[in-house]
Structure 1
Amino acid sequence: MMKQTLRNTAFFIAALLAIGVSVNASAALNKTMIVDATAYNSVPGQTDSDPWVAAWNNRLRPGDKIIAVSRDLEKHGLTNGAKVRIEGLPGTYTVRDRMNKRFTNRIDVWMEKDVRKARAWGKKKLKIIFEPVK
Structure 2
Amino acid sequence: MALVLSGFTTNKAPQQSITLEVTAVAYNSVNSQTTTGNPALTAWGDKLKPGMKAIAVSRDLIKMGLDYNTKVKIEGLDGVYVVKDKMHKRWKKKIDIYMGQDVKAARRWGKRKVTITFTPEH
The TM-score, its normalising length taken from structure 2, stands at 0.84
AA at the equivalent of 1:126: V
Which of 3, 24, 28 is equivalent to 1:41? 28
Judging by fraction of residues, say which structure has more helix: 1
How many correspondences in the alignment? 110
Judging by fraction of residues, say which structure has more strand: 2
Correspondence 1:104-123 to 2 at 5 A = 104-123=92-111
Distance 2:33 2:49 in 1: 17
CA-CA distance at 1:102 after TM superposition:
1.6
User: Tell me, which stretches of 5 or more residues in structure 1 are unaligned?
Assistant: 1-17, 19-24
Distance 1:99 1:118 in 2: 17
Correspondence 1:50-65 to 2 at 5 A = 50-65=38-53
Q: What per-residue deviation string (whole Å, max 9, x for no partner) do you get for residues 28-65 of structure 1? A: 61110000010000011212211111110011122210
AA at the equivalent of 1:106: K
The TM-score, its normalising length taken from structure 1, stands at 0.77
Q: Provide the identity percentage.
A: 50
Q: What does residue 3 of structure 1 align with?
A: none
Bigger Rg, structure 1 or 2: 1
Q: What does residue 71 of structure 1 align with?
A: 59
Distance 1:101 1:133 in 2: 22
CA-CA distance at 1:85 after TM superposition:
0.2
Q: What does residue 10 of structure 2 align with?
A: none
How large is the Cα RMSD of the aligned pairs?
Answer: 1.6
User: Tell me, which stretches of 5 or more residues in structure 2 are unaligned?
Assistant: 6-12
